[in-house]
């Protein structure tokens, strides 16, 4: 087998995106043992930085060792007991994933759907909460399959007033847009590494508050083989079904007790640490503004070349831009040419949107000027090849104008 030889890509999908070179370098650091005080210090530092990322005072803020959906499943497995009522508003693929996971853990699921490309009016969700009276609501913040972002604040406050637990999938927004866990009254939130954090997939930072912890502790069971007599005195009528995703055990591992569970994924923690450092160095607000700037330039270029955007613009994700595939254009041929000739990756979509839209991500380290300009140039050239009547040369001019205007405003201050 040959040495690893990978081409260098311009990755403009909604994830995984390009990893920041500083994160890549951190990953080549020799490892420490899992109970080495120098490593547990790093675990604590990651907790502190995850809190800042989530703008929360929650004590519990730590990563799950798996991809983003492992974070979703850990929260659901630890919270939802068979027969629990869960309200799941669905506005794209990842709402369905919530339904799928909740169902597997025995929830009675109540789904409401809105057309792909839109989000819910918060009032509609709230009246459904009043009708269904669920114990939990799950909500996707940024739905990458459609590029829409659901406003959370009103729903969060309504849930808190009604003593409903709100679980939020912020996999695609965290680090790229505001996720105000405390201000918005979000009870448990799951973030993704491989999107706006620019860390490789394989670790999922989560946070949850004491309302959530209370449920988790009521289901606690210390692991066979390491439980003490005192541990065994604890009884629960509804143990958590998964061991790997048992947050009551993971909490013990991430607490000063350091009770052994799995072997913490050392290098992924190094990567996460560097990714979080980069975000906090840049500053959350500055980072969100950067994402908005490059989105603006991308959208200006897309529209200038004569393409149209998919979906309701009032709830567009700042980090994902969905483009309608023009009539007569083969969507996969365009993606293949971009990849094979330009080394640029953009995404298609799922389900009813498959073949109808392209999705272009502007996330984390991938979200930078040269990438935006290159994807616009590549897309224009590819569409010309496909025979589409693109407005030649306009896209880059429009994008450059956005950047120039920004520079001017910075000078004026």
Asked if residue 356 lies in contact with residue 368, where contact means CB atoms within 8 angstroms, the answer is: no
Binding mask 222-251 for a copy of itself (x = CB under 8 A): -xxxx------------xxxxxxx------
In this complex, which beta carbon is closest to a copy of itself, that of residue 39 or of residue 403?
A: 39
Asked if residue 169 lies in contact with residue 195, where contact means CB atoms within 8 angstroms, the answer is: no
Site membership for a copy of itself, residue 36 (CB under 8 A): yes
Binding mask 4-23 for a copy of itself (x = CB under 8 A): x-xxxx-x-x-xx-xx-x--
Q: Which of residues 62-81 bind a copy of itself (CB under 8 A)?
A: 65-70, 73, 77
Q: Where are the beta strands (DSSP E) in 171-282?
A: 188-191, 204-208
Site membership for a copy of itself, residue 34 (CB under 8 A): yes
In whole angstroms, how close is the CB of 170 to a copy of itself at the nearest point?
Answer: 15
Site membership for a copy of itself, residue 212 (CB under 8 A): no
In whole angstroms, how close is the CB of 161 to a copy of itself at the nearest point?
Answer: 30
In whole angstroms, how close is the CB of 128 to a copy of itself at the nearest point?
Answer: 19
Q: Which of residues 288-307 bind a copy of itself (CB under 8 A)?
A: none
Alpha carbon distance 296, 259 (integer Å) = 48
Asked if residue 136 lies in contact with residue 168, where contact means CB atoms within 8 angstroms, the answer is: no
Site membership for a copy of itself, residue 313 (CB under 8 A): no
What DSSP letter does each residue of 299-328 carry, written as one string? HHHHHHTT--B-S-GGGB-TTEEEEEPPTT
The correct pick among 43, 45, 153, 253 for binding a copy of itself (CB under 8 A) is: 45
Among residues 191, 237, 187, the alpha carbon closest in space to that of 212 is found at 187
In whole angstroms, how close is the CB of 123 to a copy of itself at the nearest point?
Answer: 25
Among residues 320, 377, 327, the alpha carbon closest in space to that of 349 is found at 320
The correct pick among 181, 271, 323, 398 for binding a copy of itself (CB under 8 A) is: 271
Distances (CA, A) of 308 to 11, 145, 392: 22, 17, 15
Q: Which of residues 327-356 bind a copy of itself (CB under 8 A)?
A: 339, 345, 350-351
Site membership for a copy of itself, residue 42 (CB under 8 A): yes
| Total residues binding a copy of itself (CB under 8 A) | 87
Alpha carbon distance 19, 364 (integer Å) = 8
In whole angstroms, how close is the CB of 195 to a copy of itself at the nearest point?
Answer: 9
Alpha carbon distance 358, 360 (integer Å) = 7
């Amino acid at each position: 087998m040959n040495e690893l030889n990978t081409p260098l890509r311009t990755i403009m999908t909604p994830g995984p995106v390009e990893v920041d070179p500083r994160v890549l370098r951190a990953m080549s650091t020799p490892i420490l043992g899992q109970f080495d005080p120098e490593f547990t210090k790093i675990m604590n530092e990651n907790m502190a930085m995850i809190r800042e990322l989530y703008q929360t005072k929650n004590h519990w803020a730590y990563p799950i060792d798996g991809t983003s959906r492992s974070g979703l499943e850990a929260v659901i497995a630890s919270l939802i007991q068979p027969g629990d009522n869960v309200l799941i508003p669905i506005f794209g693929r990842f709402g369905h994933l919530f339904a799928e996971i909740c169902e597997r853990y025995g929830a009675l699921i109540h789904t409401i759907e809105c057309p792909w490309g839109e989000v819910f009016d918060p009032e509609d969700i709230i009246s459904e909460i009043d009708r269904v009276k669920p114990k939990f609501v799950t909500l996707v913040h940024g739905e990458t399959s459609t590029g829409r972002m659901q406003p959370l604040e009103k729903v969060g406050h309504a849930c808190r007033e009604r003593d409903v637990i709100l679980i939020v999938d912020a996999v695609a927004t965290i680090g790229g847009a505001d996720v105000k866990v405390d201000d918005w009254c979000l009870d448990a939130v799951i973030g993704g590494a491989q999107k706006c954090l620019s860390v490789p997939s394989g670790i999922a930072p989560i946070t949850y508050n004491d309302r959530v912890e209370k449920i988790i502790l009521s289901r606690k069971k210390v692991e066979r083989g390491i439980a003490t007599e005192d541990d065994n005195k604890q009884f629960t009528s509804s143990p958590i079904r998964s061991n790997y995703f048992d947050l009551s055990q993971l909490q013990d591992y991430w607490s000063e007790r350091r009770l052994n569970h799995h072997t913490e994924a050392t290098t992924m923690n190094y990567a996460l640490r560097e990714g979080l450092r980069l975000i906090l160095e840049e500053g959350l607000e500055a980072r969100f503004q950067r994402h908005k700037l490059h989105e603006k330039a991308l959208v200006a270029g897309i529209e200038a070349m004569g393409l149209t955007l998919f979906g309701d613009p009032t709830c567009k994700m700042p980090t994902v831009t969905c483009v309608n595939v023009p009539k007569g254009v083969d969507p996969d041929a365009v993606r293949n040419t971009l990849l094979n000739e330009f080394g640029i990756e953009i995404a298609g979509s799922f389900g009813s949107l498959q073949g109808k839209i392209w999705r272009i991500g502007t996330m984390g380290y991938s979200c930078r000027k040269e990438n935006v300009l290159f994807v616009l140039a590549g897309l224009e050239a590819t569409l010309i090849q496909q025979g589409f009547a693109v407005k030649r040369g306009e896209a880059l001019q429009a994008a450059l104008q956005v950047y120039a205007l920004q520079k001017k405003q910075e000078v004026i201050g």
